[in-house]
Amino acid sequence: QSALTQPPSASGSLGQSVTISCSGTSSDVGGYNSVTWYQQYPGQAPKLLIYEVNKRPSGVPDRVSGSKSGNTASLTVSGLQADDEGDYYCSSYAGRNNFVVFGGGTKLTVL
Amino acid sequence: QVTLRESGPGLVKRTQTLTVTCTFSGFSLTSSNRMCVSWIRQPPGKALEWLGLVDWDDDKYFNPSLRTRLTISKDTSKNQVVLTMTDMDPADTATYYCARGGVFDGNTYYYAWDYWGQGTLVTVSS
């Protein structure tokens, strides 16, 4: 059982927006501005999309955004494209004892 | 160009010790770089799980639920990081990844990984 809670699935139509939530506690998501999001295609390694809640590495389009409110972080993908389909994972720094915890992943389907 | 590549045995037997090597290029784990390498695993069809990391100063952090079974070492001359996990069980069957701590705006982020290896599948037989 993962430390962070994500919905197992999400979906949206081409061109629309979808938001994926990531719920934790004050010991992880709520306690630090260190939420990270990854996208993973089947059989491939994860790809970093967002770090520090809402920062995008170079190469990640600005239609991908992150936010946080209290103990819940969110990833929003706007203008959905076919290649946005995949699994999305959140993670958070959780202090020096636990260090990093993950969510269970969300499978995004583009309709 | 940053690359990481994991190499492992593919198959281990229950109770044996697993050794997986991460060979990387494009960066180094020396004091001048202040970088780190993490290990993450993913059982088939399941979520990611962080295992541990080693940084440029040879500081190490481990997943507390696996701490007693894990060792991580680095060889800066070979640009390698080695993960060992003792007392393997079929539940440890997973793809094992190594990944670099993200470098953005001159800072290294230990808990956000920008480059990953392709992963190596380790199957534990009973």
The stretch B49-74 carries a mean pLDDT of 96
pLDDT-derived band of residue A2, with 50, 70 and 90 as boundaries?
confident
Contact across the interface for B114 and A52, Cβ inside 8 Å: no
pLDDT-derived band of residue B42, with 50, 70 and 90 as boundaries?
very high
pLDDT-derived band of residue A1, with 50, 70 and 90 as boundaries?
confident
SS (H, E, C) chain B: CCEEEEECCCEEECCCCEEEEEEEECCCCCCCCCCEEEEEEECCCCCCEEEEEEECCCCEEECCCCHHHEEEEEECCCCEEEEEECCCCHHHCEEEEEEEEEEECCEEEEEEEEEECCCEEEEEEC
Mutate to test the interface with A, among B2, B54, B61, B111 (most CBs of A within 10 A): B111
pLDDT-derived band of residue B97, with 50, 70 and 90 as boundaries?
very high
For the ranges B4-13, B32-41, B114-123, which has the lowest average pLDDT? B32-41
Chain A positions with Cβ closer than 8 Å to B: 2, 34, 36, 38, 44-48, 51-52, 55, 57, 89, 91-93, 96-105
pLDDT tops 90 at residue A78: yes
The stretch A11-19 carries a mean pLDDT of 97
Percent of chain A with pLDDT over 70: 100
Contacts of B113 in chain A (CB under 8 A): 46, 48
Tell me the C-alpha distance between A39 and A48, whole Å: 7
pLDDT of residue B59: 93
pLDDT of residue A79: 97
Question: What is residue A37's DSSP assignment?
Answer: E
pLDDT-derived band of residue B79, with 50, 70 and 90 as boundaries?
very high
| Distance of residue B125 Cα from the nearest chain A Cα, in angstroms | 22
pLDDT tops 80 at residue A21: yes
pLDDT tops 80 at residue B32: no
